[in-house]
Structure 1
């Protein structure tokens, strides 16, 4: 099987090549491309590969831009370091993906699935548009400072100093890493939209946690989890069974 790799990091493309050949010696990497420009030039003349592995961020842009410039008839498996929120959109768009760092077993499963399905279709324009919109959304800037009313003063509170947000007697309060607490205007739902999901996670209806504040995760009954944080919270923070898997994925990534 002839394969093309689109990846701007030499170590990553070398590793993928090694894994592919280790999984199936009949796989041949016929070309490695490192940019949108090089990919457009190549695929405009050569689409004889059976499968393409493509990173999203390239040296000169986003790989989805390739599909805006030329029609692609070759099936693509994206390799990505994006978080679980972004991956949900890949599923919706019916596009395969592998999460970096690449796992050999998952790579082998993806290749086997490709062979079984015998995909012969490229990527539709509406799929690319949806993913481009998603990338632009995820690359937006998130809130870095809250202006806090505190003792007749307005205090700038940096987001990086906040360990978690917790509802206390109906009021949203931000607890800092030095264990100070400040009342925040707004609801947790609004804060969730303003905070970078790579750094913050909505644990439950009462709490949004910063990754760096996580101290320990304990198994609880019925598949629930208890989360211990720094600084210590006076309220027990519980993750429901329904969210436990997603939360552990967020922590691991």
Structure 2
């Protein structure tokens, strides 16, 4: 088996090489590449690689940038430091990955899975497309500023300054942490997709709240929750029983 390693950490590439040789002495390491640039150069030319091990984070960018510039048709096993939530998403799409530092048993399982999947090139291509979409989604850029109308002028409002956004008579309003109100000419659904989910959470149909604006949480009947926010909201904010578990997990993240 002929292998190419894309890894910018010397210790990590040496450890992976050692483990691969230990598991299969017949494995040949064709190249160790340490950047997006060197990887594009290598895969732009004919090569004999049968399997590629690729770190997601490289010194000069993210590895998915390689696929934007050159076509790689061989199966790829990613090494990553992503959290377990992201890793589970990869697994749902039948994607091979290894959590750093690479474990010998996990590496052996990944090699076995490669041998099985190599029987169908089509599935490998589908899996690759699925992983790239997931990586891009996890590296999505989020809105940092909204340009809003205020009296006779336009004002840039930083999303980090927004305490919460809500629907008032069909109009979306944003309340900043210093208790100023602005109207946003957008649907709440669109705003939800534009905001960083690690900071903002849509607690119900009417309201999206910033984590920093939550003063406390009270238990309500039937497993619901009541949020108290600052600045104080004019109505009671209720998180449904169906959402309460996910909401508490988000707060605790």
TM-score interval, smaller chain? 0.5 to 0.7
Label 1:3 to 1:240 Cα distance change in 2 as closer, same or farther (>3 A): farther
Can you list the C-alpha shifts for 1:163-199, whole angstroms capped at 9, x where unaligned? 1112345543211111233333332112223334443
Counterparts of 1:111-150 in structure 2 under 5 Å? 111=107, 114=110, 117=113, 119-121=116-118, 123-124=124-125, 127-128=128-129, 131=132, 135=136, 139=140, 142=143, 144-150=145-151
Does the aligned pair in 1 maintain the 2:163–2:176 contact within 8 Å? yes
Q: How many angstroms does 1:15 deviate by?
A: 7.2
Matching residue of 1:52: 53
- Quick one: distance in 1 between partners of 2:227 and 2:105? 33
Change (3 A) 1:142 1:120: same
Using the TM superposition, name which of 191-200 and 240-249 deviates more: 240-249
Distance 2:14 2:237 in 1: 44
- 1:64–1:128 contact (8 Å) kept in structure 2: no
Give the corresponding residue for 2:189. Answer: 189
Q: Indicate if the aligned counterparts of 1:40 and 1:70 stay in contact, CA closer than 8 A.
A: no
Unpaired runs of at least 5, structure 2: none
CA drift of 1:63 comes to 1.4
Deviations 1:197-249 (A, max 9, x none): 44333222111122433445566665555444443434443444444555456
Distance in structure 1 (CA, Å) of the matches to 2:139 and 2:165 = 22
How many residue pairs get aligned? The number is: 240
Larger mean CA deviation between 34-43 and 216-225 belongs to: 216-225
Question: Is the CA contact 2:76–2:96 (under 8 Å) kept in the aligned structure 1?
Answer: no
TM-score (norm 1): 0.62
CA contact (8 A) 1:80 1:97 kept: no
Equivalent residue for 2:174? 174
Q: Is the CA contact (8 Å cut-off) linking 1:203 and 1:247 kept in structure 2?
A: yes
Residues 100-150 of structure 1: CA distance to partner in whole angstroms, max 9, x if unpaired?
A: xx699xx78965763674544374168438836972895456251231334
The 3 A distance-change label for structure 1 pair 116 and 38 is same
SS at match of 1:124: helix
Asked which structure has the greater CA Rg, the reply is 2
Cα RMSD of the aligned pairs, angstroms, is: 5.0
Give the TM-score normalised by structure 2: 0.62
